[in-house]
Amino acid sequence: MCLGVPGQIKEIYEESGARMGKVNFGGIVKEVCLEYVPEAVVGDYTIVHVGFAITRLDEASALETLQMFHDLGILEEELNPEGAHQEDDARTSGLSPLSESRQPVAAHDGGGGRDEVPD
């Protein structure tokens, strides 16, 4: 799922010629590209989609949306999709998310034949 998530701009700076900022999403702070909202200033709320601030938002709407996302349990998932997928993979595989001992179950023989289980 990819949602636009509201957050508050805490810092604005330039990096490699791009307007960037630190945005707080209810306690989770991420680096965000601010190029699409040149009028935004520190303290403003913005909607962020895939790392890009796409519009400004009033504080009441931002806080209401953040609370709703938190209540639904999707805020953390949306802001940390890699961690969420690792946990999902671990639950279905029986491995811990930090396990490095995953082995392939089957390897394709490359010749259009049946898959073989490696030794």
Residue ranges and CATH numbers for the domains of the chain are 5-93 (2.30.30.140)
Query: What pLDDT score was predicted for residue 82?
Result: 60
Q: Where are the alpha helices (DSSP H) in 18-74?
A: 59-72
Least confident of 49-53, 64-68, 70-74, 79-83: 79-83
Number of Cβ within a 10 Å radius of residue 75: 21
Element (H, E) at 19: strand 18-25
pLDDT per residue as tens digits for the range 21-31? 999 988 889 99
